[in-house]
Amino acid sequence: MTFVNQAEEVMGSSVKVLGLLAAILSAMTVLTSFGLSLTSVTQEKQHCIIEQLLTCISHQEWGDGKALGLCLSSIKRLLTTCFMMAIVFTGVAVF
């Protein structure tokens, strides 16, 4: 906590703004990941892809693959968001 208080004294309210920005970007990442998972399942149901896949593989393999793919996609999106936040924070710190 001491470091945060010292940073607030030095930087002023910009630390609070950066914290709020980080929270908003993190929330956007999580909500977008949930939206991606719901959209992909809905599209697969509309095109009967799930039924075709389940004739070739078991439902357990399909579920595991779906979960793994969505987790990896979410991790990629989270890392991209963190990278972009680091660029923004660096830019704010420079100016």
Q: Write the pLDDT tens digit of every residue in 40-87.
A: 778 877 777 777 777 788 888 888 888 888 888 878 888 888 888 888
Asked if residues 32 and 40 have their Cβ atoms less than 8 Å apart, the reply is no
Instruction: Tell me which H or E stretch contains 47.
Output: none
**How sure is the predictor about 11, in pLDDT bands with cuts at 50, 70 and 90?**
low
Report whether pLDDT(1) > 60: no
Q: Tell me, what's the pLDDT at 92?
A: 79
Q: Tell me, what's the pLDDT at 9?
A: 65
Q: Tell me, what's the pLDDT at 2?
A: 61
